[in-house]
Chain A
Amino acid sequence: MSWQLVVFASLNQAALVKRGLTREGIEVEMQRTPQSLSFTGCSFALRCRQEDVPRVAARCEELSIRPGGVFAETEAERNSQKRAFDVSELEQ
């Protein structure tokens, strides 16, 4: 299964997007954005399945949120403590 990380500028945004997705039955995990992807300092992210990214994007649009980016989780991320991501296409 392929996972994506959608980065938000703040936890307020990530938490509200997550609530809407949870109501739709879409599982997402809220987490701190890895420092390597957190270009402006502190930020938060939602980890979701690749196929759910369009729903995440739709929820962001409903809330007038522009995500900081969408990143594909790599094998290195899944299998080690090292956090590594490939930049994925922006869904906006």
Chain B
Amino acid sequence: MIYLDNAATSWPKPAGVAEAVVRALREPLGNPGRTHHRAALDAASMVAACREDLAELFHAPNPLRICFTANTTDALHLAIKGALRPGDHAICSAMEHNSVWRPLKALAEMGVELSVAEAGQTGFVHPENVRRLLRPNTRLVVMQHASNVTGTIQAIQEIGAIVRAHGALFLVDAAQSAGSLPIDVVSMSIDLLAFPGHKGLLGPQGTGGLYVGEGVELQLVREGGTGSESLNAEQPSFYPDRLESGTLNVPGIAGLDASVTYLLARGVSSVRKHETGLTVQLLRGLARIPGVTLYGPAVDTPRAAVVSFNLEGWECTALAEELERRAGIASRPGIHCAGLAHRTLGTAAIGTVRLSPGPFTSPEEIETALAVVEAIAREPRDLCPR
């Protein structure tokens, strides 16, 4: 298999990740925070180590403000529904994933005012498009760091400064950037950072997290057992307990800690350099193939390792199946859970084929994928499924 679907979930994982998960299941590893036998304390130490590593990766001053979640959507819900009340105003971009768009639309039905910052044809949102939408009651600005459709990287630092100056909260969806692009929650003025554990962070599925900045208070979306202040009917006021009700995914976090340890040793900049090289190779190669339409930023503009395209005469789903049939190429066709973004790009009716290389993709694999697309493109059109 040539795995080019890292934007959905990364594969392969670094050495040590699977072993850490297996070890967490095979060896005694208890429920952290619930009791004090050795297995439970060992689990707590491992979870604490992962919190510290994530804080280091995102330059978060306090590891206790990293809360584990099941995935990015879970984290975004805690943040969006925790921050907004009826009468508040929220801003998102026209490139958002449904994990942001749907909860915001649901809140709009309950009295939250919602504005959408326009994006250009490449998916880029000019910071001024955010600034001009700010209102006195703007409570939250939500912005994708990098598009899961086009790889477009938003001007997070500039937008963060605008939002901070206004006094609103800035929530960044790092689904396509955590582990792949440098993130500094302090210099980027990020109040809330939602991230997956299983994409750029290279950990297991079912892991993710939410960074909550100092002084940021969220309404609760759920309450429950935390292993702390058990005599109180109210949820603890301190983090991460405030948001971490119920048993954590300890085997998943064990795998995540192994993958983040790998990333810290390799360096995000090294991953970024590798993925940029592959993305440029892919973009240049696809641009040379007759009938290919590319979406998103120009080849010389920085983007995340996400490339969307269509091939004339081919439906995106049929093309994805053909790529897998001919060379075992794993891609993702369709709307990518991002109807808003596809409407912005003008591809809502046709979708796109998305190729997303990862830290372990080789240039040879990209060459093979390009050769297969080219071979398909050069075949007589009447043989192709429409």
Chain A residues within CB distance 8 Å of chain B: 9-16, 18-19, 30-32, 39-44, 63-65
Contacts and interface: CB of A to CB of B under 8 A. Distances in A.
B359 interface: no
Interface in B191-242: 214, 226-232, 236, 238, 240-241
Given A16-B48, A19-B48, A9 B63 contact: no
A15 B241 contact: no
B63 A64 contact: no
Contact of A12 (B229, B230, B241): B241
Contacts of A16: 48, 51-52, 63-64
Given A19-B48, A30-B44, A64-B64, A41 B36 contact: no
Interface residues of B, number: 29
Given A16-B51, A40-B231, A64-B62, A10 B36 contact: no
Contact of A30 (B41, B51, B226, B229): B41
B47 A15 contact: yes
A30 B41 CA distance: 8
A41 B32 CA distance: 16
A14 B244 CA distance: 16
Contact of A9 (B49, B51, B238): B238
A32 B48 CA distance: 17
B241 A42 contact: no
B35 interface: yes
A31 B228 contact: no
Contact of B236 (A9, A30, A63, A64): A9
B267 interface: no
B297 interface: no
A43 B232 CA distance: 12
Interface in B259-300: none
Nearest to A20: B52
Given A44-B36, A64-B64, A65-B64, A9 B45 contact: no
